[in-house]
Amino acid sequence: MNEPETMHKKINPARRHSYHRPKNISHSNKNIIGRTRHPLQAKRPPLRNEEKRGSSIPPIEKDIIRIIPFGGVEEVGKNMTAFEYGDDIIVVDAGIYFPGDETPGVDYVIPDTTYLEERKSKIRGLFITHAHLDHIGAIPYVQEKLGNPPIYARKLSAAFIQKRQSEFLHLPKLDMRIVEREEKIKVGSLTVSFFAVTHTIPEAMGLIIGTPHGNIIHSGDLKIDHKDGEPLSFEVEEFTKIGNENNLCLLTDSTNVDRPGFGFPEREVHENLRKIIKETKGRLIIGTFASLLERIIYIINTAEELGKKVVIDGRSMKVNIEIARELGLLKKGLKSIIPITEMENHPPENVIILATGAQGDAYAVLMRVANKQHKYIKINNHDTIILSSSIIPGNERGVQKLKDNLSRQGAKILHYAIADVHSSGHAYKDEAAWIIKMLNPKFFIPIHGYHYMLRVHKAIAESQGLSDKNIVIPDNGMIVEIDGQKQTISQLKKRAPAGIVMVDALGQGNVKDVVVRDRKALATDGMFVIVAVIDIKTGKVRKSPDIISRGFVYLKESQDLLNQTRLLVKKTTENAVGEMHPINFDYVKNSLRETIGKFLYQQTKKRPIILPVILEV
What is the contact surface with Zn ion in residues (CB under 5 A)? 2, 132, 221
Residues 261, 430 contacting (CB under 8 angstroms): yes
Q: Is 218 or 495 the residue whose CB approaches Zn ion more closely?
A: 218
Count of other CB atoms within 10 angstroms of residue 29? 15
Question: Pick the catalytic residue: 199, 426, 448, 457?
Answer: 426
**CB closer to Zn ion, 210 vs 220:** 220
Question: Are 156 and 132 a contacting pair, CB within 8 Å?
Answer: no
Q: In this complex, which beta carbon is closest to Zn ion, that of residue 9 or of residue 132?
A: 132
Angle 291-295-296 from CA coordinates, rounded to 5°: 70
Exposure b/e, 347-385, CB count within 10 A at least 16 = b:
eeeebbbbbbbbbbbbbbbbbbbbbeebeebebeeebbb
Contact 90, 125 (CB under 8 A): yes
Residue number, 136 or 479, with CB nearest to Zn ion: 136
Which residue's CB is nearer to Zn ion, number 202 or number 597?
202
The nearest distance, CB 132 to Zn ion, in angstroms, is 4
461's enclosing H/E stretch is helix 451-463
What is the four-CA torsion angle of 469, 474, 477, 478, rounded to 10 degrees? -10
The angle subtended at Cα 209 by Cα 203 and Cα 214, nearest 5°, is: 140
CB of 299 to Zn ion, least distance (A): 19
97 DSSP β-pair partners: 109
In the complex, the smallest distance separating the C-beta of residue 2 from Zn ion, rounded to whole angstroms, is 4
Query: Which residue among 93, 225, 253, 525 is the active-site one?
Result: 253
| Helix 315-326 × helix 155-165 angle, to 10° | 130
CB count within 10 Å of CB 402 equals: 27
Nearer to Zn ion among residue 132 and residue 226 (C-beta): 132
Q: Is 420 a catalytic residue?
A: no
How would you class 81 by CB atoms within 10 Å of its CB: exposed for 0-12, middle for 13-18, buried for 19 or more? buried
Nearer to Zn ion, 132 or 566 (CB): 132
Task: Decide if 468 is catalytic.
Answer: no
CB of 449 to Zn ion, least distance (A): 13
Least distance in angstroms from the C-beta of 267 to Zn ion: 18
Residue 73 Cβ, how far from Zn ion at the closest point, in Å? 16
Q: What is the residue type of 42? A: A
Distances (CA, A) of 25 to 29, 36, 163, 166, 517: 6, 12, 24, 20, 12
**Strands of 473-595, DSSP E:** 478-483, 488-495, 501-504, 507-509, 527-534, 541-550
CB of 455 to Zn ion, least distance (A): 22
The residues annotated as belonging to the active site are: 253, 426
